[in-house]
Structure 1
């Protein structure tokens, strides 16, 4: 009986101790290194994937920005100035006097005024044709000088446009702007070449008409000499009274 009482008392003490023990001492913390390492690796991989996605998005954004720059138009255009220069030169060529740059007009002049002298042409016709040829040559020289003056006047415009286009090309933000600046520089060179062509044409016209005048004058001189030396119809001496 006493033994049973002692056992019951001992059990009560054990239960009392179990209920009065603090929770922190009752719970046991277990640390698993393998599980912790796997969790760290998974977190690192997830973070790397996020960084890769961020980098990819940044690259795509930069690519879109570059595409926008490459598709941007050049803010400067020299087309109007170049067209104005070409029009001024063209107007000067169109204002050519007398025999101009027309094939039919040239053919008509060389079949009449510049044609070989006919033996039946009157002296008045010879004089009139000679005067017409001289006026034509003089007008051609004036036209050549006017074209040259117009081309020289375009030089200042060309200088300004060249400077503006080179500056635009150097400050181009994309491929399209650089290409457009280059195209406008090529157009400027074409305009300068057109001015040079006009100058050469005007100068060549003046030289050709001057040479044609000399050739016609030589032909006319031979005919007048022939008439002067022809007996009967040539020069006949007459008496002249100088004093009254």
Structure 2
């Protein structure tokens, strides 16, 4: 009986001690299985996520704005793929060549003064008749050369009209399709160069025409002065015509 009671007491003690020994092992799984829901914390987390998302959207919008700004800057800095300045400049050079190729009397103050001193100045009655005729022929040839120079300039200016029209058409189309401020400015600059070329043609043409008219007027004035001087000398008593023997037929 004592043995049985001892065994029963030992078994009972073991059963009572078992929960105490197993409690640390069972405590952890029991605590892990419980989920605590905190509404306030959840709302706070949602608001924080929303703010972060808004910040990301703002950053994306800033990047898009910066990209657009860079694209616009690139367009503003984009240069025209072609230039008509060389074509326009070559037209001006051809006009300058014609001016430099002016015949007999150049577009130079010293050349004009020298020519007028020699051929358009005061009439020298000590010259022989042949010398006076030679001077008159030189003046006439100079007038004809001036007319030829004027006509050559006219032909050049008229020939430039077709090229000018093509240039203006191209620049006008480029102005309509300019992608940025730089291209628009370059188109305007080339249009100004084109206008300058046309003005140069008009100035050169007017100068050539005026030169031709001036040479004709100078020749006419000099001839009139020479004729009047010779007539006055011829009619002056004692110093005019001196009679002499004239041989009309050979042997008589």
TM range (shorter): 0.7 to 0.9
Change (3 A) 1:66 1:151: same
Which of 25, 34, 45 in structure 2 is aligned with 1:39? 45
Map of 1:64 onto structure 2: 70
Out of 166, 174, 177, the position equivalent to 1:171 is 177
- RMSD value over aligned CA atoms? 2.7
Alignment of 1:92-111 (within 5 A): 92-111=98-117
Alignment of 1:132-211 (within 5 A): 132-211=138-217
Of 123, 127, 131, the residue aligned with 1:121 is 127
- Give the match for residue 85 of structure 2: 79
Q: Distance in 1 between matches of 2:104 and 2:121?
A: 16
Unaligned runs of 5+ in 1: 1-7, 9-14, 16-22
Check whether the contact 1:140–1:202 (CA below 8 A) recurs between aligned residues. yes
Give the match's secondary structure for 1:43: helix
Number of matched pairs: 223
Q: How many angstroms does 1:232 deviate by? A: 4.3
User: What is the CA deviation profile of residues 1-32 of structure 1, one whole-angstrom value per residue up to 9, with x for unaligned ones?
Assistant: xxxxxxx9xxxxxx9xxxxxxx9xxx666543
TM-score of the superposed pair, with normalisation by structure 1: 0.82
What's the CA shift string for 1:116-171, capped at 9, x where partnerless? 10232222222221111111111101110110110000010011111111111211
- CA positional deviation for 1:209: 0.9
- Does structure 2 conserve the Cα–Cα contact (< 8 Å) formed by 1:70 and 1:177? yes
CA deviation string 1:20-60 (max 9, x = no partner) = xxx9xxx6665433222222211111110000000011111
- Spell out, residue by residue over 1:83-133, the C-alpha distance to the aligned partner (whole angstroms, 9 max, x if none): 221122112222211112122211111111111102322222222211111
Q: Distance in 2 between matches of 1:123 and 1:241?
A: 20
Taking structure 2 as the reference length, the TM-score comes to 0.80
Q: Using the TM superposition, name which of 65-74 and 118-127 deviates more.
A: 118-127
Any gaps of 5 or more consecutive residues in structure 2?
1-11, 13-18, 20-28
Distance 2:63 2:248 in 1: 116
- Secondary structure in 1 aligned to 2:119? coil
Of 223-232 and 63-72, more deviation after overlay is shown by 223-232
Distance 1:126-1:203 versus aligned 2 partners, 3 A rule: same
Q: Which residue of 2 aligns with 1:12?
A: none
